[in-house]
Amino acid sequence: MENVVLIVHLLLALSLIGVVLMQRSEGGGLGIGGGGGGAVSGRSAATALGKVTWILAIAFICTSMTLTIFAAQNASGTSVVDRLGPLTPPAAEDAPVLPDADTLLPPGEGDNAPLVPRAD
């Protein structure tokens, strides 16, 4: 059922985008677009595209709320933080063992290396 509502929701979104783009610009936003008096004139007559836009918008909001309800039911009362697992540091036996400091140096350059003068 959730997949059907999701597909209808996507179709409504695409249809709503198409209908809005087909409408004539009433201008006023950026000073671009059709005339017609703007704010001076009264309310313009509702066109067929305007009515379709309202119907699609209401259907889009209904499917959005339906998908939200489905998502809330599927949440099953767990939090995202609960799914992360324990946030405690690892125990001492699980911690990585670092090598001695002398083993990180190249051979002959540690504290126990004999002092040999370099021939420069």
Q: What is the pLDDT of residues 58-115, one digit of tens each?
A: 999 999 999 999 988 887 776 777 777 776 665 656 666 666 555 556 665 555 555 5
The SS3 call for residue 56 is: helix
CB contact at 8 A, 22 and 49: yes
pLDDT at 45 (0 to 100) = 62
Neighbouring C-beta atoms of residue 56, cutoff 10 Å: 20
Angstrom distance (rounded) from CA 1 to CA 41: 47
- Its pTM stands at 0.53
Neighbouring C-beta atoms of residue 63, cutoff 10 Å: 19
Helix 48-74 to helix 2-22 angle, to the nearest 10 degrees?
A: 150
